[in-house]
Amino acid sequence: MNFNSLITKIVFVFIVSIILFITVFIGNYYYEENLLNTRLSENYKKITKHSHENRLAPNEIIEYIEKLNFQFIEDGESLTRESKAIGSGPGFEIFKNEDSFYLFIHGPGFRILAKDLDKYPLGYYGFLILGIIFIIFVLSFLWIIKALRPLKLLKEEIQDFSNGKLNINCKSDKKDEIAEVANEFDNAAKKISLLLNSRQLFLRTVMHELKTPIAKGRIVSELIDDDKQKDRMVLIFDKLNLLINDFSKIEEIVSKNYNINKYKNHLDLTVEKAVDMMMLDIPKNKIDYENISKKTIKVDLELFALAIKNLLDNGIKYSKDKKVRIQENENELLIISKGDKLKKPLNEYFNAYHNETESKNHGMGLGLYIVHEILKMHKMKLSYEYLDEHNIFKIAL
């Protein structure tokens, strides 16, 4: 249970109020009962006092109390044992058995037990008021919970929207404040969705249009007679084509439209895939490998390799010797390069297009943002350490 939830707080207040209400109800019951017992004691005290002051004989006492709507009980010993004593006074006691009250008068040489035939209901007016208040309170609680229910639905729609579901509908025809917020968010979501769709359409159109001249250039490159020049041109166009594909993936990641497809892969083959994506002329001149095992990891191969590629690209681009080392250490994959320490905490580089214009790491932000988003999709974390003039980025596998 979320104790910070507004509904939880309302339910808690309702439960506390119910407990207090029950306490008041029980207290009122005992108060009315004690009030009735006190009233009976006063009445019976007057009857007993009259009998004693007038020195009435037992048969006269019976006649007197029968006129007051009492019924004489001949065998009262067993009844008094089964009854509850609720009061007493000089020369008398009061017993209660079920809903009937009994007056027990005793004196020198006699004992008289009489049943009071009058009915003494408790003051039900107070109970009626409490009952009406309770019903109103419960109905008010249900009304508030019903009024807040759209808030939960709005929260779910907002969560769906934040997870990339753009075609949400939280419009409401009600007139309360929650409906106003829902309608404003619905309008904002539709505008954002329209902008994102326009951007995606523009980017995809541009990438599609770029692929056509790249493909033509790739074909024309095959016609070059000089093998060295031909290979160089083919490599350039292949790199351009790979960049277009990477841009497409990045666009899907940023817009949260990428459907991740995780399956088991070997770590060494995943690293090899990342290096191949860099399309370096001679990879071993730029990248050193250490202890990369055939450990099995469950990842989206294309996506995870893209994250490693970004870290390797950053390592080479911003290192002092233009080299990077990648190694496996227990349950971590380390990307190590020689260079200056990051000027700000790593988390600040996870913002898109973060720049440090005064540092050599200018432009690193976008690469780390993409890496962070990819690892977040895999439920993995990226950490950073600076040791012996080396930047060390760690992926927890």
| pLDDT value of residue 123 | 64
For the ranges 28-32, 241-245, 258-262, 266-270, the maximum mean pLDDT occurs at 266-270
Alpha helices in the chain (DSSP H): 6-53, 58-67, 77-82, 124-162, 177-221, 227-254, 267-278, 301-318, 364-377
| pLDDT value of residue 269 | 93
Judge contact between 293 and 329, C-beta under 8 A. Answer: no
For the cut 50, the answer to whether the pLDDT of residue 358 exceeds it is no
| pLDDT value of residue 360 | 45
Q: Kindly report the average pLDDT of the chain as a whole number.
A: 84
| pLDDT value of residue 363 | 42
For the ranges 51-60, 354-363, 375-384, the maximum mean pLDDT occurs at 375-384
The pLDDT tens digits for 97-124 are 887 888 888 878 788 888 888 887 766 6
Judge contact between 113 and 80, C-beta under 8 A. Answer: yes
What is the amino acid identity at position 303? Answer: L
For the cut 50, the answer to whether the pLDDT of residue 357 exceeds it is no
Q: How far apart are CA 268 and CA 295, in angstroms?
A: 8
For the ranges 118-127, 197-206, 227-236, 370-379, the maximum mean pLDDT occurs at 370-379
| pLDDT value of residue 270 | 94
DSSP code, position 342: P
| pLDDT value of residue 366 | 60
Q: How far apart are CA 397 and CA 250, in angstroms?
A: 22
Share of the chain above pLDDT 90, in %: 19
Strand partners, 383: 394
Residues 6+ apart with CB under 8 A from 393: 311, 315, 334, 335, 336, 382, 383, 384
The pLDDT tens digits for 296-335 are 999 999 899 999 999 999 999 989 999 999 999 888 999 9
What is the amino acid identity at position 173? Answer: D
Q: How far apart are CA 342 and CA 360, in angstroms?
A: 9
pTM to 2 decimal places: 0.55
For the cut 50, the answer to whether the pLDDT of residue 186 exceeds it is yes
Given pLDDT bands bounded at 50, 70 and 90, which one contains residue 79?
Answer: confident
| pLDDT value of residue 1 | 58
Mean pLDDT of 363-381: 81
For the cut 50, the answer to whether the pLDDT of residue 2 exceeds it is yes
Mean pLDDT of 260-286: 90
Token pair of 196, please? Answer: 């994102």
For the cut 50, the answer to whether the pLDDT of residue 146 exceeds it is yes
Mean pLDDT of 144-166: 81
The pLDDT tens digits for 12-54 are 888 888 888 888 888 888 888 888 888 888 888 888 888 888 8
236-242: long-range contacts, CB 8 A cutoff, minimum separation 24: 238/279, 239/279, 240/210, 240/214, 241/211, 241/214, 241/215, 242/277, 242/279
Residue 279, H or E segment? none
The pLDDT tens digits for 274-292 are 998 888 878 889 999 888 8
Given pLDDT bands bounded at 50, 70 and 90, which one contains residue 157?
Answer: confident
Domains of the chain: 6-122 (no CATH), 263-396 (3.30.565.10)
Q: How far apart are CA 5 and CA 7, in angstroms?
A: 5
| pLDDT value of residue 359 | 46
